[in-house]
Structure formats: structure tokens, C-alpha cells
Amino acid sequence: MPRGSRIDAVGAIHHVVVRGIDQKNIFENNADRDHFLFRLGTILQDTQTACFAWALMPNHFHLLLRTGSMSISTVMSKLLTGYALWFNRKHQRHGHLFQNRFKSILCQEEAYLLELVRYIHLNPLRAGLVQNIEKLDNYPYSGHSVLMNKLINTWQNKDEILKMFGIRSASAMRAYRAFVEKGIEKGRRPDLTGGGLIRSAGGWESIKALRAEKNHQRSDERILGDSDFVSQVLAKAEEKMTRRQMLRTSGLDLEKIALHVSDLMEIKTEDIWTRRKHQRIVDARSVLCFWAVHELGITMTSLGRKLGLSTPAISKSVTRGKQISEARGFNLIKS
């Protein structure tokens, strides 16, 4: 059965897993890991993507991300493409480095955020890369060491996690570590990594109990959460897709958005396609970017090629365009 399209939205939490092709290593040494982390941090900051947890393994890695101004698919495409090209040049190899499609699961934040932070950060211990929790505290290739204040980086959302364990940093850190240590006995947690209804309901035993009660819960392979959360996410995704189809069917395209924006901003349409820095033109270009990406689903990469701008620049324009549209009451569809 073909996999469904990714579900994403600003603020969505994703557990991302990327594996090497044919289970081959994607990191051969610490220099590879350090370069990967440098790329990751740069891209996360450029795209305003929050990172709550991460772990690098020899042949795969885990990330726990919150979508910012750029979709998770675009963020991962930039990260994986750039790293694969660098890795192949360095190690004099050819061909694909990663499996064709990375795995991402949209997660219910309230129920699963801390569970996933713990699960991801325990990966090096479960795999035997470190021998005990004390070694994990200092392991430089997992976000656990950042939360333990043994490793410093500027792109991991350390404070947002620690504040869930206490107001004072020292006591919060101790409580977090105790929480992680308690998770060691829980093992591999198929309820967090398995599929669809099995994962969302908490395993096969829970499924059997629900079936015995004739309690049918909605599930989806792409989502980790309870039935209500799954239904809400799917409803929003369907509504968004229906709107895009409606807009495209009506003949709305990038050129017509530009015409509409030029009317709203009282500038010449051709000025929008230039790289002039006049404030009104910059604002108009930002609104165009926001509507193109969020309403028509045009990728930031293709939009950047059209406007002669980098993807990070388009990302910033999308954010600015959203703010301008909301502040001025602009609507794409004329009433």
C-alpha cells in the first residue's frame, strides 16, 4: 500500500527517523557527526525549526522537531541533500546515502513530547554505544548531554524541556535525569515507534481490550496520538487540501496572486518580481510568498528559483507575509 502524503503545519511536533540505505552507516567517524550537527544547527536556525531531542547512531538518526516557517519536508530535504553530497565527496563514494523517504510521525504534544525526548535520548544506551546513564550524560552525539549541561549548542530547545521539570535549573536537571533513568527499564517502546492504531492505542494488549469492548478508534500511520487527536489532524489536513484544490480549480496561480497583491499594495505587478528593496515592494513580495506557500502549496525552493532568492530568504518572507496579511486584514479571496 502506498504511503500517504506527509501531514504538517506550523507548530506541529514530528519524530523524524532517517536511515542509511541498505542499513549502511551514514557516519563513519566523529568528523562526519560534527559536520552533520553543524549543518543541522544552521538549517534549524535559518528555518526557525525547534529541536527538542536528537540522537546520532551509526546507520540512522532521530530528531524531535517542531515545524517553523518551513515545512519539515523542506527542512529535511536541505539537510539530507547537503550532507549526502558532502559525505560522498569525503568518502569517495557514489549513489544514495539515505533510504528514499525519511520517516516522520506527527505527535500529540501534551501526551508524547516528554516520552519521545526520553525515548530518543536513550537510543545510544539501548544500542550499546554507551554503557550506562553516567556515560550517556557526557555522550556528545545525543541531546541528552545538552540537557545535562555537558554540551552546549544554540539550536536545541533545552530550556523549554527543562522548565517542564522545575523552575530552578539545577533541580529541573536532576528531575529530568531521574525521568530518563526510569525509562531505561521500559526498553524499546514499540508503542512509540510501531504503526497506526497499535502505536496510538498503546500496543496489542490495548487493541485487544478495545476490540472486546467494540470500541473503534481512528488511527493513521503518520500520527502518534489518541483517536480524537488523529481525527482533528486528519480533518484539518483534509480541509487544507480541499481549499488548495478549490483555489487551483478556480484558476488561481502565482501570476494571479501577484496581480491581487499589486492591487492591495498599490504597486506595479512587475515590481514584485524584482529584487528591489523598497519597503512596499518587499512587503508585497512577502505577502505573495505567504499565500503561494500556504494557500497553493508551492514549495519554497521553487518559489526561490522564481524570485531569485535563497530558500531561507523565502522562509523569512513567508513569516513576514503572514504578519502583514493578519495586521492589515488582507484576504487572498476577494469578498
CA angle, 61 then 66 then 70, to 5°: 100
pLDDT digits (tens, 9 = 90+) for 126-156: 999 999 999 999 999 999 999 999 999 999 9
- DSSP calls for 176-212: HHHHHHHGGGGTT-HHHHS-HHHHHHTSHHHHHHHHH
Q: What is the mean pLDDT of the chain?
A: 80
Report the pLDDT value the prediction gives residue 177, as an integer from 0 to 100. Answer: 95
Q: pLDDT class for 107, splitting at 50, 70, 90?
A: low
236 and 320 in a single domain? The answer is: no
Q: Among the listed ranges 47-51, 236-240, 329-333, which one has the minimum average pLDDT value?
A: 236-240
Residue entry with cell 479571496:
333
pLDDT at 247: 60
Taking residues 319-333, report their average pLDDT: 85
pLDDT band, very low/low/confident/very high, at 215 (cuts 50, 70, 90): very low
Of residues 106 and 4, the one with the higher pLDDT is: 106
Indicate whether 222 and 274 sit together in one domain.
Answer: no
Q: Among 51-55, 170-174, 322-326, which stretch is predicted with the lowest mean pLDDT?
A: 322-326
Q: Which of 119-133, 210-224, 263-277, 316-330 has the lowest mean pLDDT?
A: 210-224
Q: Select from 236, 223, 18 the least CA-distant residue to 107.
A: 223
- Asked whether residue 34 falls in the same domain as residue 136, the answer is yes
Inside any domain, residue 268: yes
Three-state DSSP class for 49? coil
- Tell me if residue 257 falls in helix, strand or coil: helix
Point out the least confidently predicted range of 115-129, 130-144, 183-197: 183-197
The separation between CA 300 and the C-alpha centre of its own chain, rounded to angstroms, equals 15
In the numeric block, which cell numbers belong to residue 265? 499594495
Interval 156-166 mean pLDDT:
93
Whether residues 67 and 216 share a domain: the answer is no
Give Cα 57 distance to the centre of its chain: 19
3-class DSSP assignment, residue 96: coil
Grid coordinates belonging to 331? 484576504
What's the confidence (pLDDT) of residue 20?
Answer: 95
Domain total for the chain?
Answer: 3
pLDDT band at 48 (very low <50, low <70, confident <90, very high): confident
Beta carbons within 8 Å of 209's beta carbon, 6+ residues apart: none
Distance separating alpha carbons of residues 16 and 104, to the nearest angstrom? 4
Is residue 80 located within the same domain as residue 185?
Answer: yes
Summarize the confidence of residues 304-315 as an average pLDDT: 82
Do 34 and 133 lie in a common domain?
Answer: yes
Read off the pLDDT band of 217 (50, 70, 90).
very low
pLDDT at 245 over 80: no
Report the SS3 class of residue 26.
coil
Region 116-127: mean pLDDT is: 94
Confidence of residue 253 (pLDDT cuts 50, 70, 90): confident
Alpha-carbon distance 95 to 88, whole Å? 8
Domain of 315: which CATH number?
1.10.1750.10
Nine cell digits for residue 6: 506527509
The answer to whether residues 209 and 304 belong to one domain is: no
Q: Is 308 left (phi over 0), alpha (psi -120 to 50) or beta?
A: left
pLDDT at position 207 is: 37
Give yes or no: residues 139 and 281 share one domain: no
Same domain for 58 and 150? Answer: yes
Gyration radius of the chain's alpha carbons? 22
Domain that holds residue 234: 194-242
pLDDT at 90 over 90: yes
User: What is the distance between the alpha carbons of residues 224 and 192, in angstroms, rounded to a whole number?
Assistant: 7
- CATH number, domain of 185, equals 3.30.70.1290
CA-to-CA dists, residue 222 to 158, 170, 230, angstroms: 26, 37, 9
Q: What is the pLDDT of residue 85?
A: 94
Considering the domain architecture, whether residues 284 and 142 belong to the same structural domain is answered as no
- Has residue 7 been placed in a domain? no
20: which DSSP letter?
B
**Residue 296 binned pLDDT confidence (cut-offs 50, 70, 90):** confident
- Verify that 205 and 112 share a domain, yes or no: no
On whether both 34 and 69 belong to a single domain, the answer is: yes
